Amino acid sequence: MTRLENWLEEARRLPSPNRDERPAGVEVDLLVIHGISLPANAFGGPWIEQLFLNRLPRHRHPFFAEIHGLRVSSHLLIRRDGELVQFVPLEQRAWHAGVSSFQGRERCNDFSVGIELEGADQVPYTDIQYRVLCRVTRQIMTHFPAITPERIVGHCDIAPGRKTDPGPAFDWKRFRAGLEEPE
């Protein structure tokens, strides 16, 4: 890994225009885990990347027409085969949380890192996704020591009623145990 504040060495880089600077003086102290598939429950293909790059072709699927013009991103995406893709440097603000709140603080994008897992709420995530997620999470926690295990949440936790990801198929117990394993 080189210069964590910019880009992870192991990640394929696809800079998203959907990012900006964090507010001055804000400490990064939250990690948000998401789940995404485009279209729903379909894996593989370029659509997640195209969404985060504002290139999603609205004519390719009815759902794409619905979300055309949506400007979102995440810091990282972990594909089902374990490939790590980075869209936003960790020091910058990615647009992943939307309307959100954690422990009374609004605008979670300001103080969080977002990791998307290619998946769906009811579909188990892959072994390699958990391994990569644990490894990357440990790196992020080292760089941002205010992110403790208690400050790692799902999108559903910061946007209840609006978001359900990473969903019931995400094994929190397995993930948290994996954070304790040596590299």
pLDDT in tens, 6-61: 899 999 999 999 999 999 999 999 999 999 999 999 999 999 999 999 999 999 99
| Residue 5: pLDDT band with limits 50, 70, 90 | low
Task: Give the pairing type, strands 12-13 and 112-118.
Answer: unpaired
Q: Are 129 and 80 in contact (CB under 8 A)?
A: yes
Burial, 47: exposed, middle or buried (Cβ in 10 Å; 0-12, 13-18, 19+)? buried
Indicate which residues carry an active-site annotation. Answer: 116
The predicted-structure confidence for 119-140, as pLDDT tens digits, reads as follows: 999 999 999 999 999 999 999 9
pTM across the whole model: 0.96
Cα-to-chain-centroid distance, residue 5: 16
Question: Domains of the chain, with CATH numbers?
Answer: 12-38+73-180 (3.40.80.10)
Say which amino acid occupies 144. F
Distance CA 119, CA 96 (A): 16
pLDDT of 181 > 90? The answer is no
How many CB atoms are located within 10 Å of the residue 27 CB? 12
Residue 119 CA neighbour count, 13 Å, CB half: 29
Average pLDDT over residues 152-169: 97
Would you state the structure tokens that stand for residue 31, as one six-digit string?
């990690």
